[in-house]
Amino acid sequence: MNRYCVGLQRAIGDAPVMVDRTCDAPEAHGANRLLLCLAFGIIAAVSGVANAKAQEAEPRSYTNTPVGLNFLISGYVHSEGKIAFDPDSAIADAKFHSDAGVLAYVRSFDVGGQSAKLDVIVPASSFAAQGSLNGQPREREMSGFGDSRFRVSVNLFGAPALSAKDFASYRQDLIVGVSLQVSAPLGQYDDSKLLNLGSNRWSFKPELGISKAWGPWTFEVAPSVTFFGDNTDFFGGNTFSQSPIYAVQGHILYTFQSGIWMALDGIYFAGGRTALNGAKSDNEQANTRAGFTLALPIDRQNSLKLSASTGITTRTGSEFSAVGIGWQYRWGDGY
């Protein structure tokens, strides 16, 4: 015997919909499964939007830095755009805007005679989106902390560990380095919501970095892969999983004698197919982004960085433009 479901508002991606986890009618189970399938595809698409920096190319990650320095960094990124997914799905015209802030601490140190860095990053953001589900308008808003990230990068060649005094005579040639970034499930998460700022899972991103300087010009390339743990408490006990995302970013930089530098940035990433309780979705990503970065030193201890980026090609996922500003303060030995 069929029974009617009591509708509860839950968010599919950016759009709340009416679903009921407790409904036992066969029709309801089928409808709920369809909604969930749409949901986990869109969640994968917008997972990087709540913290726009997650899909941004970052220049100068492997440049040499005097050891014994500390960096305090604060930044703000505004992003807006749309969510691209299967045009045959019931969700359409999904648009969003996000205001994200970040606070980070960086420490440089010596590893085997080469320079290395430890980064601790704490993001927070507000996110609002509108769209339509089966022709009905829906919207979603949220704000809070995202998942914290921890990154260790070690230069293997071409970046000797130097004091601030000795660093004055250093000139870059070829640098080769590696890094590992770990994202911890410390962000805001509610298993009754289909979209959260925290992901309730671990992720691990190993990366190789190569940086080559020719006079004031520097060319960088950094391939990486991100592995994701499973979220075993997705929307009330379901298991949400995601395949690795493969990426490569590149930069062309020019440094002026004043210390100002600018960069053209690009990144391509692919993969990230998601699954719910083992059932895979057709939402593999293959996206390209391009951007521009300008760094402005203020004095020996302070600097500003301006950035802008936009999507070039998007198969599925978030297609957005972003602008950001960051402030950096450094102190330590020799400063």
- Read off the pLDDT of residues 257-286 as tens digits, 9 standing for 90 and up: 999 999 999 999 899 888 888 888 777 888
**Residues found in the chain:** 335
Q: Say if CB 261 and CB 255 are below 8 A apart.
A: yes
| pLDDT tens digit sequence for 1-30 | 333 333 333 333 333 333 334 444 444 444
- Least confidently predicted of 54-58, 134-138, 178-182: 54-58
Question: pLDDT value at position 272?
Answer: 86
Residue 61 predicted with pLDDT over 70 = yes
**Percent of the chain with pLDDT strictly greater than 90:** 55
Mean pLDDT of 182-191: 93
Q: Is the pLDDT of residue 84 over 60?
A: no
pLDDT of 44 over the 90 cut: no
pLDDT, residue 35, reads 54
**Secondary structure of the chain as H, E, C letters:** CCCCCCCEEEEECCEEEEECCCCCCHHHHHHHHHHHHHHHHHHHHHCCCCCHHHHCCCCCCCCCCCCCEEEEEEEEEEEEEEEECCCCCCEEEEEEEEEEEEEEEEEEEEECCEEEEEEEEEEEEEEEEEEEECCEEEEEEEEEECCCEEEEEEEEECCECCCHHHHCCCCCCEEEEEEEEEECCCCCCCCCCCCCCCCCCCEEEEEEEEEEEECCEEEEEEEEEEEECCEEEECCCEEEEECCEEEEEEEEEEECCCCCEEEEEEEEEEECCEEECCEECCCCEEEEEEEEEEEEECCCCEEEEEEEEEEEECCCEEEEEEEEEEEEEEEECCC
Res 42 pLDDT > 70: no
**pLDDT one-digit tens code per residue, 203-246:** 999 999 999 999 999 999 999 999 999 999 988 788 989 999 99
Query: What confidence tens digit (pLDDT) does each residue in 131-156 have?
Result: 776 677 777 788 999 999 999 999 99
Predicted pLDDT of residue 3: 35
pLDDT for residue 276: 84
> The whole model's pTM is what?
0.84
In this structure, the number of other CB atoms found within 10 A of the CB of residue 120 comes to 13
Q: Which residue has the higher pLDDT, 291 or 318?
A: 291
> pLDDT grade, residue 316 (50/70/90)?
low
Maximum average pLDDT range among 25-39, 85-99, 277-291, 308-322: 277-291
- Mean per-residue pLDDT for 78-92? 66
CB contact burial 42-56 (16+ within 10 A = b; e otherwise) = bbbbbbbbbbbbbbb
